[in-house]
Amino acid sequence: MAPPCLFPDIRDAEYCSVVLQIPLDKTEDQVERELLEKASSLGIRTTLPSIESEYRRNASVALSDSVDSVSQGHVASSASEGTSSTYLTPHSSIFGPPSPRTADSIGIHFAVYEKYLAEHHVPSESGASNASYKSRKSSRSSAVGDGSNQSVLSVSTTRRGLSGFTSRMLRKKPTRSFEPILCCQSCRRDLTKPALIHNLSCGHAHCTDCLRLKIHQACHDESLMPPRCCSPLQASTIQALLEPAGQETFVKAVMEYSTPWELRIFCPNASCRHFIPHRQPLDPKAPFSATCRKCHTRVCVICRNAAHAIGKDCPADAQVEASPKTSGGHPSCKRCYRCRSLVKRRQESTRLECACLAQFCALCGGLWDSTIGCPNICISDDETAKRRDSNSNDETGGPKRQDRAHDPAVQDLLQCQEQEMVRFCTFMAETRASLQARYSEQRLALGQKHREQEDRLKEEHTRTACQLEDGQIQEEMELRANLEQSERSIRVRIKHMEAYCEGLSHPNPQGSHMPPRVVTEQNLRDLGSQYNMRDSMQRRHEAKINMMRDRQSKRMSELLEKHEDELEKLAHGQQADRDELETAHVRQSQHLSSTIEARKARLTARWHMETEVLCRELEDRDGVKYALLPVPTWSDDQGEEAACAQSPAL
């Protein structure tokens, strides 16, 4: 099947109608199945990439139980039971309905964590609590058993005991409402909400933040795994504390730490270095290779470097490299993917069977299936020699071979294939252009959004700065008004005190019998203090104004720093948005390129099969063999784009 699309540009219905020109009531899979049935009826043993991928999904996976083995598991074909045929039939099991791909869905199974605790002989919390409970129960039962054999309700104390028991049961006990103080054992912080604290089986209480910190440290430091207080945390506790992403990270860390160091496999990509679990489904075509789930880089499980080509043995396997070569240049021994033992090739057969009952190809090492044989469609050396001898016999004394390029049916098929290639190039060029156009539109929309965000933020900053400046001006005006009022009050007070002291306020009229006003020393001292206040009043007012201005300047600088921080934060967020958009575009472009390559390979395989089927039909009709006819070949990307640009749209 074609890989799923991450974007709506490549639509299967449009691709089938525009490029393949298949009727609406048929799909590409149905066309290939019909072609396979036709090839099988003519005795042609071959397959297609889509059928192989479906076979790989239907294959059952058997994982290795040996810790010393670094194999990726074992695939046992369900189609190999009950038949010994080596060619495809329409009723083969690979044509059944596809099974769900459970390997693609990353499930968070905390059974790995429980297994890690069991392998490292670390008692779990539940086991410790059960053991302590049983010990307390047994101690209580032993204490009772060691006592006297006399019955509690003996004859002499039966009545008194019953009466006392009844009185105690009927007596109303006062209710006690003690609310314990919740305190974290790690950070010693008092918590008011019981939902924020977790009581462990060891009796200690920890807050959510501290437990998450312990789990985070255990994920990045192997010496701190498993996370624990007095005993390891339970899987249910960890699952309740972490989000799905955190649970996945924790399970991956447990899988890495549970693997011995000498058996750990990491991605050879320098920018990835992601851990690759050794227990994952095998690739039937290359069982000694694993795939990184993060960057999809393939790695050899023997030398831990980049995966080798299909059919090429690892150079680090000295025993296989040192084995004698066959007539076709292949090693006479092959390593078993399950038990890792060497299996010697016998009688020039491409099928090898190990003592562990594992069957694989002697040429490429792929998992052998009795229905399709080698998943890489390898040809044995003797069959190659037979074909070479047959070709030589045909050239010398055999039936005369004819050039089938002049046959009308062959010419029609080649023309259809060439037109299909042109339509494919045009369709994919339009798809790339659509992807690039959408990326440009997204960049323009994102730039417009960022400019609007900046404008709104700058307007908000200007408004807050103006409000603060207006408030400061109003505050200074109020302060100056208060200072002027206090200055006027002091001057009026001095005026009245001078008049009192000089006798000008209430002069003594002639003939008055009132005694004259007496000016004391205290009155003069008060007047002098008022003079001092008047003289220093200007200086004190300036000091108050300067202090107020310093406070206002500090508040303004703090506000400007806050504005700068907000602008910097906004710039970081906008850069993150641009990086995310760029990453998504690169990911979509890579996926589009892989989709194009996959569909190219699918088209090429179907063209080869169509040519071979037509050749077999002509041979059965005419009784002579025809020369081989090549199918249309793909040019490089630049030439393809140039050809697509010059070719008319169909």
Instruction: Give residue-wise pLDDT tens across range 65-120.
Output: 333 443 333 333 333 333 333 333 333 333 333 333 433 334 447 787 888 888 77
Mean pLDDT across 45-64: 49
**pTM metric for this prediction:** 0.44
- Mean pLDDT is lowest, of 240-244, 403-407, 436-440, 551-555, for 403-407
> Does 616 fall in a domain?
no
| DSSP for residue 347 | T
* Rounded-to-integer distance, Cα 371 and Cα 46, Å: 11
Query: pLDDT tens digits for 128-158?
Result: 444 444 444 444 444 444 444 444 444 444 4
Per-residue pLDDT tens over the stretch 160-178? 555 555 555 555 555 554 5
What is the pairing mode between strands 333-335 and 351-353? Answer: unpaired
Query: Does the pLDDT of residue 125 top 50, yes or no?
Result: no
Q: What is the pLDDT of residue 291?
A: 84
150 in a domain, yes or no? no
Question: 149-153, 219-223, 307-311: which has the highest mean pLDDT?
Answer: 219-223
Residue 300 CB coordination number (10 Å): 21
Tens of pLDDT, residue by residue over 534-547, are 888 888 888 888 89
CA–CA dist 98, 29 (Å, integer): 12
Specify whether the CB–CB gap between 606 and 32 falls below 8 A: yes
Which is more confidently placed, 637 or 143?
Answer: 637
How far the first Cα of the chain sits from its last, in Å, is 25
User: Cis before residue 284, ω within 30 degrees of 0?
Assistant: no
| 31 — pLDDT class (breaks 50, 70, 90) | confident
Instruction: Report, as an integer, the average pLDDT of 587-611.
Output: 85
pLDDT at site 632: 83
Judge contact between 588 and 7, C-beta under 8 A. yes
The answer as to whether 76 is a domain residue is yes
More confident residue, 226 or 172: 226
Confirm if 276 and 267 have CB atoms less than 8 A apart: yes
Pairing of strands 197-199, 205-207: antiparallel
Q: What is the mean pLDDT of residues 345-356?
A: 78
Tell me 228's DSSP state: B
Domain range enclosing 70: 51-100+262-395
Predicted pLDDT at 590: 86
Q: Is 363 among the domain residues?
A: yes
pLDDT score of 445: 93
Distance CA 336, CA 345 (A): 12
- Please give the pLDDT value at position 153: 42
447 or 82: which carries more pLDDT confidence? 447
Amino acid identity of residue 73, one-letter, is G
* Per-residue pLDDT at 257: 86
Residue 280: closest CA among 255, 304, 314: 255
- Which has the higher per-residue pLDDT, 307 or 125? 307
Say if 564 falls within a structural domain.
Answer: no
Say if CB 75 and CB 213 are below 8 A apart.
Answer: no
CB atoms within 10 A of CB 348: 14
Identify the pLDDT of residue 55: 47
Within-domain flag for 69: yes
Mean pLDDT (the chain, rounded): 72
Amino acid identity for residue 52 in this structure: E
Q: What size, in residues, is the chain?
A: 650
DSSP state of 14: H
Mean pLDDT value of segment 618-646 = 63
The Cα angle at residue 562 between residues 558 and 565, in degrees rounded to 5: 140
Dist CA 245 CA 249 (whole Å): 6
Per the model's pLDDT, the better-predicted residue between 221 and 56 turns out to be 221
Lowest mean pLDDT among 35-39, 54-58, 620-624: 54-58
Distance CA 130, CA 153 (A): 33
Q: Give the integer Cα–Cα distance in Å for 143 and 554.
A: 75
- Spacing of C-alpha 436 from chain mean position: 26
92: in domain: yes
Assess whether pLDDT exceeds 80 at residue 402: no
Residue 528: Cβ-neighbour burial (10 angstroms; 0-12, 13-18, 19+): exposed
More confident site: 416 or 379: 416
- Percentage of residues in the chain having pLDDT higher than 70: 66
3-state secondary structure of 289: strand
**Residue 1 binned pLDDT confidence (cut-offs 50, 70, 90):** very low
Number of domains in the chain: 1
The answer on pLDDT for 451 being more than 90 is yes
The answer to whether residue 554 sits within a structural domain is no
The yes-or-no verdict on residue 644 having pLDDT over 60 is no
Helix or strand run (H / E) with residue 541: helix 521-622
Q: Spell 444-459 as b/e; 16+ CB within 10 A means b.
A: eeeeeebeeeeeeeee
- Strand segments, DSSP code E, in 124-204 are 182-183, 190-191, 197-199
